[in-house]
Structure 1
Amino acid sequence: MRTAYYRLQLGILCIALLLGLGGFTMTSAYAQAPQKATWLWNTQLIVNSTDRILSFAASQNVTLIYLQVNADLDADVYQHFIAAASAQDITVQALDGAPSWALDSRRHELQATLDWITTYQQDASANEKFSGIHIDIEPYLLPEWRTDQTTVIAGWQRSVKTVVQTAHALHIPASADIPFWLHTLLTADESATLSSWMMQQYDSITIMAYRDHASGILDVAEAQLAEGDAAGTPVYIGVETNPTDEGDAITFYEEGAAYLNNQLASVIQQAGAHDSFAGIAVHDYAGWSTLVNK
């Protein structure tokens, strides 16, 4: 099942075919150069470091920023940043999430963020609006995951539907981060893998394929790239640049920027064999910029 977002693209394709536009095929309708995205969690940076952030983004060919929502910041701070990013052809998606958002008892917290985004979109000018909603819910970090996983998964699925409904009501796409192993789990009703179900809901997915070499990244991303091919859902491959206590093989923090760029070039070349491959997402701006400036 394609989402409304992709049905729109299919409609554009059909119109183009009816008009007889040469060379416009199903493959070319979905194909595009791989994008490069990053997460920006520290919202204080957009208060007084917009130029520095966007200069870095331009230097690294970033075309998409997942920007943390902070209701304590004035809306005009976001308006200024997004307008400046838009002027550089960089799109900005509203980022937020918490493991507890998968719980029915805590969905009001998710709803509060979605309400803030809705109000913001209604008040912002066209070049100041978020271009999408990007959610990071990781309920496997909850103690409930170990004691009642099926109930948590069911709640997670309900939260996903809430996000997608809100985004599409605002006429923007919804996307999310998911772990590379999510295809090993089933939905609450056991009708599909959890990752393939996510791809049927969201307009794109970012796989947290956190490894520090191309072969490892591709190995852990392969199953979900294949599911993305089947679902017709764009898939971004995410990598880590921050220090972590999960092991040196998880992050590029120790290897440096030159090695990172070399490995990402290999990932892009090889992942391009998948129709679903949409680009690379580097986690996150703070870690990546530190790596580059070492």
Structure 2
Amino acid sequence: MRFQFTTRLARVFLARSTLLLGLVLALPFARAADRAVWTWERESYAMVGSPAAADEALRFLQGKRVTTIYLYADAYRGRNLIAQRPELYRRFIQRAHGEGFKVYALLGSAYLRTEEYVLPQRRAAALATMQRVLSYNAGSRPEARFDGVNLDIEPHILAQWKTQKMELLRQYLDLSQAFMTLKRASGQTLSIGPAIPFWLDGIELEWNGVTRPVSEHVIDLYDYVALMDYRHRVDGSDGIIAHAANEMAYAAKKRKRVVIGLEVTPNELSKVTFNHLTEIDLERAVAQTERAYRDSPAFAGFALHHYRGYRRWLAGQPAGLGAGK
């Protein structure tokens, strides 16, 4: 009787184990890479301003395996909470750290027209944004400090890009150098890097007496880059893996890091976004890209653009095809 019970129990255990193993193998979501999300003005201000909004956002992000929040930390609609109400950021960041997140200050804004920061007349305003973050960190306890900075300054948005591209790129590099000079002067160790389009590796530029692809100049200057690798195809010459290859190889040589950015918000060009696809499609692309780059010392995970758009996209998923709302 004891033998029969033990055999029956073993069969049940084996059957359940086999079922669980099958489910795990079928899941497209298994991955070890870090995952960040860009969080813009309105949502960031809501998170730092309301403990209830923070709780809800952090629960959602944990459910989506997000590990880093790019949290907007500049002026918005007449307020500048990082300067005027730093205690709000301290409360949120300390809470997020307690939940296992890293928090980067996100500097860049359509509201502030930060694409203009590369222009000489906007240089002081640009440097002031970085200095506010450094001053905030210097005045905060370790558990409430930003872990890094993500810069979103895109000179290619400017109207004069078509006729002054090279000059704008030199000004962008000059500004980048000035940002990193501020960091070194502060003595802080937070990681600073910009969001850059993948096609910068196709533009050769002479800067400070050295000619090389703009992407390489940028990687040389910063601690990491977040590569806006906005494609929904993984393979092929116009795919995510191929577009990250040059940056990944150069960053590995320079002991820098590359975060691969993916888009989920609507776009006129369907190839740049997962918006018309499902969450399962996104997760499969993430898993495939990670398999391609996980052995690279430069690979630093993924970043999704952006928090509000990501949630809207998930809410619109066909029944049964998403991995939760």
Task: Give the match's secondary structure for 1:187.
Answer: strand
In structure 1, C-alpha distance between the alignment counterparts of 2:315 and 2:212, rounded to whole Å: 44
TM-score (norm 1): 0.84
- In the TM superposition, residue 292 of structure 1 has moved relative to its aligned partner by 2.8
Residue 214 (structure 1) aligns with: 234
Query: Once the two structures are superposed, what CA deviation does each residue of 1:166-195 show, in whole Å capped at 9, x if it has no partner?
Result: 233233121111100111112343522111
Q: Among the aligned pairs, what percent are the same residue?
A: 26
Q: Kindly provide the amino acid, as one letter, of the partner of residue 315 in structure 2.
A: N
Q: Kindly provide the amino acid, as one letter, of the partner of residue 269 in structure 1.
A: R
Residue 286 (structure 1) aligns with: 308
Task: Give the match's secondary structure for 2:211.
Answer: coil
Residue 275 (structure 1) aligns with: 297
Q: Kindly provide the amino acid, as one letter, of the partner of residue 160 in structure 2.
A: E
Candidates 139, 142, 162, aligned match of 2:178: 162
- In the TM superposition, residue 274 of structure 1 has moved relative to its aligned partner by 2.7
In structure 1, C-alpha distance between the alignment counterparts of 2:297 and 2:155, rounded to whole Å: 29
Q: Kindly provide the amino acid, as one letter, of the partner of residue 62 in structure 2.
A: A
Residue 27 (structure 1) aligns with: none
Query: Once the two structures are superposed, what CA deviation does each residue of 1:39-86 show, in whole Å capped at 9, x if it has no partner?
Result: 110323212211111112211221111111134222122111111110
Q: Kindly provide the amino acid, as one letter, of the partner of residue 108 in structure 1.
A: A
Q: Kindly provide the amino acid, as one letter, of the partner of residue 233 in structure 1.
A: K
Root-mean-square deviation (CA), in Å? 1.6
In structure 1, C-alpha distance between the alignment counterparts of 2:275 and 2:189, rounded to whole Å: 37
Please say if 1:38 is aligned against 2:37. yes
Candidates 219, 222, 225, aligned match of 1:205: 225
Residue 189 (structure 2) aligns with: 171
- In the TM superposition, residue 273 of structure 1 has moved relative to its aligned partner by 4.1
Please say if 1:250 is aligned against 2:266. no
Superposition map of 1:1-294 within 5 A: 33-41=32-40, 42=42, 43-46=44-47, 47-48=49-50, 49-71=53-75, 72=79, 73=81, 74-97=85-108, 98-168=114-184, 169=186, 170-189=188-207, 191-215=211-235, 216-245=239-268, 247-294=269-316
In structure 2, C-alpha distance between the alignment counterparts of 1:269 and 1:292, rounded to whole Å: 24
Task: Give the match's secondary structure for 1:39.
Answer: strand
Contact 1:132–1:167 (Cα < 8 Å) also in 2: no
Task: Give the match's secondary structure for 1:95.
Answer: strand
User: Stretches of 4+ moved more than 4 A in 1?
Assistant: none
In structure 1, C-alpha distance between the alignment counterparts of 2:63 and 2:89, rounded to whole Å: 22
Task: Give the match's secondary structure for 2:103.
Answer: strand
Q: How many residues align?
A: 261
TM-score (norm 2): 0.76
- In the TM superposition, residue 37 of structure 1 has moved relative to its aligned partner by 0.8
**Ranges in structure 1 where 5+ consecutive residues have no aligned partner:** 1-32
Q: Kindly provide the amino acid, as one letter, of the partner of residue 137 in structure 2.
A: Q
Task: Give the match's secondary structure for 2:94.
Answer: helix
- In the TM superposition, residue 128 of structure 1 has moved relative to its aligned partner by 0.9
Contact 1:103–1:155 (Cα < 8 Å) also in 2: yes
**Ranges in structure 2 where 5+ consecutive residues have no aligned partner:** 1-31, 109-113, 317-325
Q: Kindly provide the amino acid, as one letter, of the partner of residue 64 in structure 2.
A: Q
Task: Give the match's secondary structure for 2:212.
Answer: coil
